[in-house]
Amino acid sequence: MNAGSDAQKIKNDVVTAGRILIKRGICEAFGHVSARLPGDEFFVITPKASMIFVEGPEDLVTVNLKGERVEGQNQQPLETWLHTCIYRKRPDVGGIARTHSFTTSAFSILEEPVRPVHDFGAILLGETPVFPDSHLIENEKIGTRLADFIGPMGTAALLRGNGTAILGKDVIEATIRAVYLEESAMLQYKALKIGQPIYFTVNETRERGTQLLEAAHIYRAWEYYKKCSL
Amino acid sequence: MNAGSDAQKIKNDVVTAGRILIKRGICEAFGHVSARLPGDEFFVITPKASMIFVEGPEDLVTVNLKGERVEGQNQQPLETWLHTCIYRKRPDVGGIARTHSFTTSAFSILEEPVRPVHDFGAILLGETPVFPDSHLIENEKIGTRLADFIGPMGTAALLRGNGTAILGKDVIEATIRAVYLEESAMLQYKALKIGQPIYFTVNETRERGTQLLEAAHIYRAWEYYKKCSL
Amino acid sequence: MNAGSDAQKIKNDVVTAGRILIKRGICEAFGHVSARLPGDEFFVITPKASMIFVEGPEDLVTVNLKGERVEGQNQQPLETWLHTCIYRKRPDVGGIARTHSFTTSAFSILEEPVRPVHDFGAILLGETPVFPDSHLIENEKIGTRLADFIGPMGTAALLRGNGTAILGKDVIEATIRAVYLEESAMLQYKALKIGQPIYFTVNETRERGTQLLEAAHIYRAWEYYKKCSL
Amino acid sequence: MNAGSDAQKIKNDVVTAGRILIKRGICEAFGHVSARLPGDEFFVITPKASMIFVEGPEDLVTVNLKGERVEGQNQQPLETWLHTCIYRKRPDVGGIARTHSFTTSAFSILEEPVRPVHDFGAILLGETPVFPDSHLIENEKIGTRLADFIGPMGTAALLRGNGTAILGKDVIEATIRAVYLEESAMLQYKALKIGQPIYFTVNETRERGTQLLEAAHIYRAWEYYKKCSL
């Protein structure tokens, strides 16, 4: 596969990712998803309008690492800086989901991290902390602060009163992490209401998360959620 | 656009608002929505039957500020006075949603206000208090009391054991506020069950709410919920 | 309308009632609904199989007040005695819904009554107590005990670990009560989790319930839920 | 019916079971279901991919009691050993559902058993304990430990942080038990949040469970859930 067909596949995956996140209510009127293009200097992102209106790759916007639109007829989202600043700092990251999943939002306004309690939640590889600033990530300064907060190894952050940012090596991994972060939060929350959940240990999280991140498992989940989104 | 086409657009928006509120379960068998017509002396309102049966502008009823039907073949709702009395007192209000959203109802029977905890909830611009009288708003006297309770700046009230009244500068704003008031209540509630939510400060609420009330954001939400209601 | 066309309307209403209860998950694999026929000596009831398979009046079974099938090709439900014994004791009752609505079930296993907290819940006209015996209502003895427990004025009972029995002057009233009893339980439950709900007073319940039981309101709700069930 | 047509019926039931579990969200991307074939030396199981992609008996895999695939073009699941080891130890078991139902998962991470509180939950015939190891059941050793944990009489186990294993005399019984185990967990959970549920006694559980396990009742439920899954 050459760079051109790679780019085309990536764009198609972003369109599918948008459908999955909309279908599951993880994004509604707001929220978007992006993926880095081959060559590392550009990324594609869903446009300013709700992702429910994305019909194909032609609706996406291509942005450079200065945060400038370089291709696409639609406007880029106000919070493009969330993506730009993370891609700059984290060369290992190839996809980002910026969601408003509901139970994670509850943890965010409690300033409590989401912590793995089950197999699928281990895919985050550790706990997901709360970035305490409720502002939109709409300029370079706050975008850089968020990227610093996530750090060199983080996989996601809750944004207080304002959803989540979730990272992956590609948009498929970011999307499945977005789905399972919410499921993990739901399960932790459900258990907390009637007792004390047994959190996964660091070793348990690493072992189970690494296994689930193998391509065969991730694609299995991706194919399932894709099918559900049709 | 002349007054005639304005009026037509407003009526179409009321029909769409009804569909959105029904689709999301914010109104079911009961509840209705209205909008002031150009010239300020009349408003249109969904009829007495459930809004699920509203198919187009021809199903709406036009009412004057004395609470009398002046146009339309359908009966007006029993609680038309809720709308009449608010439009009288609040010239800045162009749309009202009278809903039975579920989680807001739980706060109403606790006599606890809904308070902003996240970005979308800030659209109410402050906390939403509980009107303690559980009677239907079916006459001028209780309608006036409710309008006084909401006051010159209020955006909404919970009615104890009986749903909500939500105001906007137009029916679009009132509808999006109705959706986000319920979401805000859900999030506050969810957090309260396992801890103490960090409520938005007065400044944070004003800043984030004002930003979200900009036309581009409100229409983005409106277009999303409209699409979902089809 | 003569007795024949009355009977036909009643049978059609039972079919619609079944659809409404299935659609809302108030009945699933189990549960059934019945209505007294003109003349007071017989009632029609949905058959032994799940109501999801009821397609028309021809699927119903006619039963006399000795609990014997007198018409219909399908088998009558095991718990026909629940209906028989209530119709015997309560000449004012014209319809009965035997459901497994979920939140009412939670109150039943807590042996806590459902108490009106909002407008729609007042339609039960008072609190709904828990019949403590978890056996199926499958013979005359336990059926009579249940009818005695409900008494001359009761509108419903929770059956511990086994759903509910809900009465109405006709099957329409019984069905709308079944819907609002569950909604009432949901609201009471939701409030109880974070505080102390303000229960409707006896007077408030009587006043609001009586108003809601007027034909115009009940039919409005019936038309809405019927539309949702198509 | 000869062994061949028996086998065909069993395979069709496994396909239906998969649809039921997917439709209700009891299995999503992961989880699978199996049934023993006549002669007791082989069982059929849904393949490695999500059950949402199972279209007919030709998609199933036949496995022997050494855990080896003997027929079918698809790969068998990683956790085939869960099934193999239970079928080896329990000749009375003819069907197994391996699910990730959500509320049971909450009990599993609390290491709290699910205990019957209502009629349908009695179908488990007793409480469902938590197997404390969070590893996948992906080899003979852990499969044997799980089968030993369930023992000669057990009907199900929760797997900490990793779903459930549910047994039946055939795949129909296993499937209906999977549905009602989740419902039972939901009800116990709902009651626990606001009080102390009255658990069914050992006698009550045995009596009600045995009644519900009669073919007529189980098939009634199976036909309902099958209809819902179309």
User: For the segment C146-205, what is each residue's pLDDT rounded down to a tens digit?
Assistant: 999 999 999 999 999 999 999 999 999 999 999 999 999 999 999 999 999 999 999 999
Per-residue pLDDT of A172-204, as tens digits, reads 999 999 999 999 999 999 999 999 999 999 999
Q: Is A124 within 8 Å of A181 (Cβ atoms)?
A: yes
Q: How far apart are CA A8 and CA A180, in angstroms?
A: 26
Q: Could you give the maximum distance between any two Cα atoms of chain A, in Å?
A: 53
Q: Which residues contact C33 (CB under 8 A, 6 or more apart)?
A: C14, C17, C18, C21, C27, C45, C46, C51, C95, C96, C97, C98, C171, C174, C175
Chosen for mutation from D21, D53, D98, D109 (greatest number of chain A CBs closer than 10 Å) is D109
Block residue for tokens 């009677």: B135
The alpha carbons of chain A give a radius of gyration, in whole angstroms, of 16
Return the minimum-mean-pLDDT range out of B38-42, C116-120, C141-145, D3-7: D3-7
Beta-carbon contacts of C150 under 8 Å, excluding residues fewer than 6 positions away, are C86, C90, C156, C157, C165, C167
Torsion sign (Cα): C101, C103, C109, C114: negative
pLDDT band at C5 (very low <50, low <70, confident <90, very high): confident
Contacts of D190 (CB under 8 A, 6+ apart): C102, C103, C106, C189
Prediction ipTM score? 0.95
Model confidence at B2, pLDDT cuts 50, 70, 90, reads low
Residue B69: Cβ within 10 Å count:
16
pLDDT of B174 > 80? The answer is yes
- Angstroms from C8 CA to nearest CA on chain D: 27
* Residue B105: its H or E element: helix B102-110
Question: For the segment B108-163, what is each residue's pLDDT rounded down to a tens digit?
Answer: 999 999 999 999 999 999 999 999 999 999 999 999 999 999 999 999 999 999 99
D5: confidence class by pLDDT, cuts 50, 70, 90: confident
**Chains in contact with D, where contact requires at least 3 CB pairs less than 8 Å apart:** A, C
Cα–Cα dist A80/A63, whole Å: 9
The two tokens of residue B3 are 């007054």
Using the beta-carbon criterion (under 8 Å), do C196 and B109 form an inter-chain contact?
no
pLDDT at A2 over 80: no
* Candidate from A117, A120, A220 with C-beta closest to D109: A117
Confidence (pTM):
0.96
Confidence of residue D40 (pLDDT cuts 50, 70, 90): confident
- Candidate from D30, D105, D192 with C-beta closest to A194: D192
Q: Hey, is the C-beta of C162 within 8 angstroms of any chain D C-beta?
A: yes
- Please answer yes or no on whether C50 and D223 come within 8 Å at the CB atom: yes
D180 within 8 A of D121, measured Cβ to Cβ: yes
Nearest to C195 among B103, B110, B162 (CB): B110
pLDDT at A222: 98
- pLDDT tens track for D71-108: 999 999 999 999 999 999 999 999 999 999 999 999 99
Tell me whether B134 touches chain C (CB under 8 Å).
Answer: yes
pLDDT in tens, A75-117: 999 999 999 999 999 999 999 999 999 999 999 999 999 999 9
Between CA D205 and CA D213, with CA D207 as vertex, the angle to 5 degrees is: 90
The 10 Å Cβ neighbour count of residue D72 is 17
Q: Which of C186, C194, C221 sits opposite B29 (nearest CB)?
A: C221
The pLDDT mean for chain A works out to 96
Is C172 within 8 Å of chain B by CB? Answer: no
Beta strands C69-71 and C61-64: pairing type?
antiparallel
Is C52 in contact with D224 (Cβ distance < 8 A)? yes
Report in angstroms the alpha-carbon separations of C14 from B5, C34, C50, C64, C80. Answer: 47, 6, 14, 17, 15
B55 φ, ψ (degrees, to nearest 5)? -110, -25
- Give the gap in angstroms from C-alpha C14 to the nearest C-alpha of chain B: 20
Strands A156-159 and A164-168: antiparallel
Per-residue pLDDT at A55: 97
The answer to whether residue B177 scores a pLDDT higher than 70 is: yes
pLDDT score recorded for residue A194: 94
Q: How do beta strands B69-71 and A164-168 pair?
A: unpaired
Strands D32-36 and D42-45: antiparallel
Do A200 and D49 make contact, defined as CB atoms within 8 angstroms? no
Question: Pairing between strand C164-168 and D69-71?
Answer: unpaired
Burial-class residue B2 by CB neighbours within 10 Å (0-12, 13-18, 19+).
Answer: exposed
What value, to the nearest 5°, has the Cα angle with vertex B161 and ends B172 and B103? 55
Asked if the C-beta of A171 comes within 8 angstroms of chain D's C-beta atoms, the answer is: no
> Of the candidates A117, C152, A216, B135, which has an alpha carbon nearest to the alpha carbon of residue D47?
A216
Q: Measured between alpha carbons, how far is D200 from A62 in angstroms, rounded to an integer?
A: 61
Strands A61-64 and D32-36: unpaired
Average pLDDT over residues B26-43: 95
Give me the residues paired with residue C164 across strands: C99, C158
**B53 vs C227: CB contact, 8 Å cut-off?**
yes
The sheet carrying B32-36 orders its strands as: B69-71, B61-64, B42-45, B32-36, B95-99, B164-168, B156-159, B130-131
